[in-house]
Amino acid sequence: MIKFFNSLTRQKEEFIPYGKVVKMYSCGPTVYSYPHIGNMRAYLFMDNIRRVLKYNGYEIDGVMNITDVGHLTSDADEGEDKMLVASQREHKSPWEIAKFYTDIFFNETKRLNIDMPEHIAPATSVIEDIIKFVQGLIDKGYAYITSKGVYFDIEKFPGYGKLGGAVDSKKAGARIEVDEEKHNPYDFVLWVKAPKEHIMQWDSPWGKGYPGWHIECSVIGNKFLGEYIDIHTGGVDHKTIHHENEIAQSDSLCSHQVVKFWMHVEFLQVDGGKMGKSLNNMYTLNDLKDRGFESEDFRYFYFNAHYSKQQNFTFEALKGAQNGLKAFKNLVLSHKNAGGQVNQDKIQLYKEEFLQAINDDLNMPKALAVCQKMLKEEKSDNIYQLMLDFNRVLGFNFDKEEKIPDEILQLAMLRWQAKQNKDFAKADSLRQEILDKGYVIKDSKEGYVVNKA
C-alpha cells in the first residue's frame, strides 16, 4: 500500500489511481533565469514520486509545462511578464531567453539524474488549445470579458479556496486594490489583452493578447492527460494562488474534480532564512561545483529531510552530505563481488522495510537508514544486488563507481587507528603509501573517505 499526503484533504491517504496508468502533472519552470537549488528541490521531489511509483510496478504518463509566456512578476496577475523583464535585461528576444534557460534547466535535471516526465510542453506550443479552453469557460458562464482581458469569476465556483484556504474576503476593498471592471478583486486573468508594443501576443476572439499564467497548466494537463489526473505536484508556494486557480479552471470546465492528489514540497532555506537575489544566496549547481561539490552530493543532501518539511541548506550540511555519500558508496562497493550470501530471510526483511519506508509518503530518511543498516551486514553479493534494486529509487551511480581495493581500505583503517592513537608520523607515512598507490584519503568529523586520486 502506498500512502501520500494529499494537500487537498489535508491528510495521508492510500494512493489508488483512476486507471492502470498513473497520470501525473508537474509544474515546470518559468524559463527567465538560472534555476537555483531551491527550484531543483521541487524536481527532485517529482523524481522521487516517479521512482517510487515505478518501483511499485506502476506505469506513468507524466507531463510538465515550461512557462515561456504569461507569468507576471506577481503570482496575483500584477506586474510585467517575467519573460519580457528577462528580454529587456539581457537584450534578447523572449524566444531566445526561453531557449537559453530551458536548455540550462534540462541540463540541471540531467546532472541530478532526475527522471523526467514523458511529455514536456511550453505554454507557447498550446496557444490555440488555451483559446479554446478559455472560450469554454466563457460559454459555461465561469468567465467574463473586460477591456483588459478575460477573467475567471470565482463567485461562480463555490469550492474556491479549498486547497490553499478560504480567501479572507470575497468583497471589494478587503486588502486588494479594486479594478472597477473585475467582479471580484480575487478574480484572476485567463487572457491578457496586450498593447501593440507587447512583443509576445496572438490573435484571439477577444483581440490580440497572451495567456495568463494559471491557464497553461490546466490546458496542458487536459491536452495530454485528459479529465482525470491522479497526481499534481509543485512547490508549497503555489498552493494558495496558482494551484487554487488551476482547480477552479479545470473543475469548472470538466464539471467534476480533475486532480485526485495534490502534493507539495516545502521550501529550501539557506542558512536558516529565505533565498533572495539581494541576499546573494540563490545558489546554482554550478555554484556548488565551484566549491568542490558534485550534483549527487546535493541529491543525497535532499534525501536527509522529508519533502513536507522545510530543509535548511548550509555548506557545512552539504559537506556532511558529501562525506556521507562517499562513505555510503564505499560501503556499497565493499559488497560488490564479495562472494558471500546473506540469509534470504534477512534479504526479504530489508526489502519489506525499504518498501514500507518509501511507501509511507516518501520517507526517504528512513529508507536511507534501512540501507545503512543493511550495508553493515557481512560482505555479500546479494546485499550488493539488493542495493542496486533499491537504487532504482535512490538514483545514485553506485554501479558506475570503481571498487576501492581491500588493500587500500586496510591501509586506510590502519592510518585512522594511528591517528586516533596520536601516532601522527605513522599516520602520515600510511597516507603517503596510499597516495603512492593511486588513492587519496580525506578526513572529516564523521571519519574518512577514500577515493581514487
Where among 245, 265, 285 does a domain terminate?
265
Q: What is the pLDDT of residue 48?
A: 98
User: Rounded distance, CA 78 to CA 91, Å?
Assistant: 23
Are 379 and 392 found together in one domain? yes
* Predicted confidence (pLDDT) per residue in 244-265, tens digit: 999 999 999 999 999 999 999 9
Render pLDDT for 340-388 as a digit per residue (tens, 0 to 9).
899 999 999 999 999 999 999 999 999 999 999 999 999 999 999 999 9
* Total number of domains in the chain: 3
Which one of 202, 234, 265 terminates a domain? 265
Question: In this prediction, what percent of the chain has a pLDDT beyond 90?
Answer: 74
40 and 78 inside one domain: yes
Question: Strand 209-211 vs strand 229-235: parallel, antiparallel, or unpaired?
Answer: unpaired
Quote the pLDDT of residue 166.
62
Q: For position 275, what pLDDT does the model report?
A: 80
Q: What is the pLDDT of residues 91-135, one digit of tens each?
A: 999 999 999 999 999 999 999 999 999 999 999 999 999 999 999
Q: Which domain holds residue 382?
A: 270-400
Spatial distance between the Cα atoms of 414 and 318, rounded to a whole number of angstroms: 28
> Same structural domain for residues 390 and 444?
no
Q: What pLDDT, on the 0 to 100 scale, is given for residue 178?
A: 54
Say if residue 395 is in the same domain as residue 433. no
Q: What is the C-alpha R_g of the chain? A: 26
Of the residues 221, 250, 265, the one at which a domain ends: 265
Claim to verify: residue 274 and residue 375 sit in the same structural domain: yes
CATH number at residue 60: 3.40.50.620
10 Å Cβ neighbour count for 441? Answer: 18
If you average pLDDT over residues 63-85, what whole number do you get? 86
Regarding whether 72 and 184 lie in a shared domain, the answer is: yes
Structure confidence at residue 173 (pLDDT): 35
Same domain, residue pair 304 and 376: yes
Give the span between the Cα atoms of 425 and 206, in whole angstroms.
82
d(CA 388, CA 47): 17
* Sign of the dihedral defined by the CA atoms of residues 342, 345, 346, 349, in that order: positive
Distance CA 91, CA 379 (A): 59
Mean pLDDT of the chain: 91
pTM of the entire predicted model: 0.87
Residues 382 and 420 in one domain: no
Q: Are 279 and 273 in contact (CB under 8 A)?
A: yes
Asked whether residue 384 falls in the same domain as residue 420, the answer is no
Residue with cell 507569468: 71
For residue 303, give the DSSP letter.
Answer: T
Per-residue pLDDT, averaged over 68-80, amounts to 81
State whether 111 and 236 are in the same domain.
yes
Residues of the chain above pLDDT 70, percent: 95
Please report, for the chain, how many H helices and E strands are present, in that order: 14, 17
DSSP tag of 243? I
Q: What CATH number is associated with residue 351?
A: 1.10.730.10
Q: Do 15 and 106 reside in the same domain of the chain?
A: yes
pLDDT per residue over 419-436, tens digit each? 888 999 998 999 999 999
Give pLDDT tens digits for 29-49: 999 999 999 999 999 999 999
Q: What average pLDDT does this structure show over 257-278? A: 91
- Domain shared by 344 and 366, yes or no: yes
